[in-house]
Amino acid sequence: MPDASLLLELAEKGIIQIQQKAVAGKRATKVAALQGGKDNIAPYLRQRQKTAQNELTKKLAAKGLWAPFVYDRYLFTTLNEIYADKPLVPQPREISPQSLFAQADKRVDYLQKHFGAMEGADCLEIGCGRGETAVRLSERHSCRVTGVDAHPYPEWPDRQCDHVRFVEVDLTEQSPFSPESFDYIVSFAVLEHVQNPLAMLEVMFELLKPGGKIYLSANLYRGPMASHRYREVFFPWPHLLFEDAVFTRFYRERDGRQGVTPAWVNKLTHLHYLEKIHELGFEILKCTYSRRPFDEDFYQCFLEKLGRYPKGDLEKDFINLMIYKPI
């Protein structure tokens, strides 16, 4: 029997009428009536089923999986096995002091290229984490850096100095800083985890001096990496296909970890960011997107779910923005 999405398309064309109902937790499709004889529809069905086949659907079929899919642990683990030799992120970055400081140096190199000289400036880093970027920014540019985060880190006391300070605060709830306190504001892969990112953009506008600049990058919810579980989950968009309970069971059976789900990421698209930035009165100096190669076979295989989103959104992992507050 053809899959549900195909039957729906045929119904819309007036070729058949269908009715869908749930049976034992699985979706079954019942053909209620046919308009015209079998001969009219059979060639169309055969052609569509033929073109819908790709290497992924063949591998899944060999494991007893075909559309309409049940999005359970078996499908999850089967996809992970298929993608084990071509993971979404082939070489995830190590989480170690050396690796984090190397990443901080790359970030500061990028800021230097686009901001120019920052000596003597007052800088704010939103979502500073352990503080590596704040430390490197102060060391290499002789500027004063304030790092803020909603949660304190044990590394903070040893990394604070005359030119680096860390503050535990959620700026969307309260701000200990006076308006127009900072020449530069930076935020690296943090705004996606903020409960109210649009309010954070408002705070950033308020705290930035006229003529000041902001760099921010944010992971986008519809991107293939937004689950943040790419170290163990190798296929793209798992958070768009599977419920949290499937992740929890996968990790429990994989290594005994309890309660592991996709990381919480707000659902702003790149257009939400751009609209708010224009509304506040910022000028965009540069806007780019970080992407990974688009997996067309995967997209076509799970078009039932992934087709709900614009394809351009599914391609975008991060939005990277350089913005300016006019004088």
Q: What is the pLDDT of residue 161?
A: 93
Q: Are 190 and 126 in contact (CB under 8 A)?
A: yes
Q: Which residues pair with 187 in a beta bridge?
A: 216
Residue partners of 121: CB distance under 8 A and separation at least 6: 141, 143, 144, 183, 184
Instruction: Return the pLDDT at 14.
Output: 42
Alpha carbon 183 to its chain centroid, in Å, reads: 29
Angle (nearest 5°) at CA 119 between 114 and 120: 130
- Identify the pLDDT of residue 241: 98
Q: What is the pLDDT of residue 26?
A: 39
pLDDT for the residue numbered 94? 80
Report pLDDT for 43: 56
Q: CA-to-CA distance for 78 and 74, rounded, in angstroms? A: 6
Per-residue model confidence (pLDDT) at position 324: 96
| pTM more than 0.75 | yes
Residue 208's closest CA among 316, 319, 105, 126?
126
pLDDT for the residue 41: 61
Closest CA to 149 of 194, 108, 179: 194
Q: What does residue 260 show for φ and ψ, rounded to 5 degrees?
A: -80, 125
What parts of the chain have a pLDDT lower than 70? Answer: 1-52
Contact between 226 and 313 under an 8 Å Cβ cutoff? The reply is: no
C-alpha closest to that of 186 among 134, 136, 135, 150: 134
- Residue 322 tokens, joined: 């350089």
Residue 31: its pLDDT value, please? 33
